[in-house]
């Protein structure tokens, strides 16, 4: 098989659909397989997993064969979704790229920055599609801000989760915060100026709760909090711009946008009416007086499936469609680099006794 993106496209288009495979069908990979198996424009042709019994259970309803190693994949496979443990990402992804196959790899992109840089460089040199599975980019709640023509001034993100034994091998920064790091980088659209972070181990050997303050060269500031030792889950992002405030609940996929109305002037506020308003109803009173517009969105629906949309964007680009819908290798690497900077800042933080 050739070693260019064009070679992969030719292989995918020969049967009228992009021939796909999934490597790793555990907790996440089984969903990749199920969705690719029913995705228009994709033809799932094989699953690869070292656990033959687990793979067979996933493969049987999909009617596809199970292979024990990636080396057994046919040369005409054009696109591969990789959902193996992070420690194995480079070892699995780079041989696929050398065979001319396009790859979507789960986040974080790799176990180390050097590995991520090597993967991104190889894909770029070969002209191949490399996407990273930052599935939150496809959360419909984010559209509430993206649809505005506004530059963020302050971003606040909270990502809290109960403890999970599956994540003990990495820090909360690479496990959870990296989702919001990627989102903030996509919203801020300015070079990073500084990072200040603090974190603490609570139950495991790695940091379980972390807070980071990111400052960008245009003055935008982002505060990120991530915890995997919380009683209640939370995935919320708030963005403040000069003309608007947006609150997005990525868990419930609900959002609201508060915008200044044309001619906004606090001097015209009816102070008498405001005197009887409860603090929680202040914004709604501003709306009733024509100073602010309030739009509320419920973006959750049976048709909303961010993982399916992520896979569809990958397959579409492999088929020769437009780029930019997915999180490419360059963006995945940028998230890794910033996550590493957050970790370095945490390590440099000094705790004092007394």
Are 207 and 215 contacting, i.e. CB atoms less than 8 angstroms apart?
Answer: no
Segment 264-292, tens digit of pLDDT: 887 887 878 878 888 777 878 888 888 88
Decide: residue 205, CB within 10 A, 0-12 exposed, 13-18 middle, 19+ buried: exposed
User: Kind and range of the H or E element at 220?
Assistant: none
Decide: residue 162, CB within 10 A, 0-12 exposed, 13-18 middle, 19+ buried: exposed
Segment 32-44, tens digit of pLDDT: 999 999 999 999 9
Which residues lie across from 216 on neighbouring strands? 192
Strands (E), 161-253: 192-200, 209-216, 221-227, 234-241, 244-249
Segment 53-78, tens digit of pLDDT: 999 999 999 999 999 999 999 999 99
Angular region, 253: left φ>0, alpha ψ -120 to 50, beta rest: left
Are 89 and 82 contacting, i.e. CB atoms less than 8 angstroms apart?
Answer: yes
Q: What is the DSSP string of 301-354?
A: -TT--HHHHHHHHHHHHHTT--SSSS-BHHHHHHHHHHHHHHHHHHHH------
Report pLDDT for 200. Answer: 92
Q: Is the dihedral of CA 272, 275, 278, 280 positive or negative?
A: positive
Rounded Cα distance, 325 and 344, in Å = 31
Residue 199 confidence class, pLDDT cut points 50, 70, 90: very high
Residue 354 confidence class, pLDDT cut points 50, 70, 90: low
Domain ranges of the chain: 5-136+306-323, 140-252+340-346
For residue 331, which of 165, 153, 178 has the smallest C-alpha distance?
178
Q: How far is CA 339 from CA 117, 175, 177, 336, in A?
A: 14, 10, 8, 5
**CATH fold of 5-136+306-323, please?**
Rossmann fold (3.40.50)
What CATH number does domain 140-252+340-346 carry, 3.40.50.300, 2.60.40.1510, 1.10.375.10, 3.30.360.10?
3.30.360.10
Average pLDDT over residues 248-265: 89
Are 315 and 81 contacting, i.e. CB atoms less than 8 angstroms apart?
Answer: no
Least trusted range by pLDDT, from 89-93, 174-178, 264-268: 264-268
User: Kind and range of the H or E element at 294?
Assistant: strand 292-298
Residue 166 confidence class, pLDDT cut points 50, 70, 90: low
* 60 Cβ contact list (under 8 Å, min separation 6): none
For residue 32, which of 221, 319, 236, 312 has the smallest C-alpha distance?
312
Q: Do domains 5-136+306-323 and 140-252+340-346 have the same CATH topology?
A: no
Q: What is the DSSP string of 29-73?
A: HHHHHHHHHT-TTEEEEEEE-S-HHHHHHHHGGGT--EESSGGGS
């Amino acid at each position: 098989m050739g070693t260019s993106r064009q070679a992969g496209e030719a292989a995918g288009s020969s049967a009228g659909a992009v021939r796909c495979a999934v490597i790793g069908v555990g907790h996440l990979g089984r969903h990749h397989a199920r969705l690719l198996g029913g995705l228009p424009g994709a033809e799932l042709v094989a699953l690869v997993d070292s656990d033959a019994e687990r793979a067979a259970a996933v493969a049987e309803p999909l009617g596809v064969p199970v292979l024990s190693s990636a080396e057994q994949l046919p040369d005409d496979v054009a696109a591969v979704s990789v959902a193996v443990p992070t420690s194995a990402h480079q070892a699995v992804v780079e041989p696929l790229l050398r065979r001319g196959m396009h790859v979507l790899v789960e986040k974080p992109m790799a176990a180390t920055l050097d590995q991520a840089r090597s993967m991104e460089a190889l894909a770029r040199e070969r002209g191949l599609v490399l996407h990273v599975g930052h599935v939150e980019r496809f959360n419909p709640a984010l559209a509430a801000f993206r649809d505005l023509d506004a530059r963020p001034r302050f971003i606040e993100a909270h990502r809290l989760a109960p403890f999970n034994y599956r994540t003990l091998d990495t820090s909360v920064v690479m496990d959870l915060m990296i989702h919001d790091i990627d989102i903030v980088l996509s919203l801020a659209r300015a070079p990073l100026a500084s990072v200040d972070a603090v974190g603490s181990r609570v139950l495991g050997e790695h940091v379980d709760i972390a807070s980071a303050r990111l400052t960008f060269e245009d003055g935008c500031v982002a505060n990120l909090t991530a915890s995997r030792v919380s009683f209640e889950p939370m995935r919320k992002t708030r963005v403040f711009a000069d003309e608007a405030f947006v609150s997005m609940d990525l868990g419930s996929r609900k959002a609201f946008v508060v915008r200044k109305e044309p001619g906004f002037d606090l001097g015209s506020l009816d102070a008498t009416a405001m005197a009887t308003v409860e603090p929680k109803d202040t914004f709604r009173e501003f709306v009733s007086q024509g100073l602010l517009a309030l739009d509320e969105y419920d973006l959750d629906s049976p048709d909303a499936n961010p993982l399916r949309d992520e896979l569809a964007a990958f397959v579409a680009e492999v088929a020769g469609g437009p780029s930019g819908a997915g999180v490419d290798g360059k963006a995945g690497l940028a998230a890794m680099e910033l996550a590493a900077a957050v970790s370095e800042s945490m390590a440099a933080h000094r705790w004092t006794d007394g």
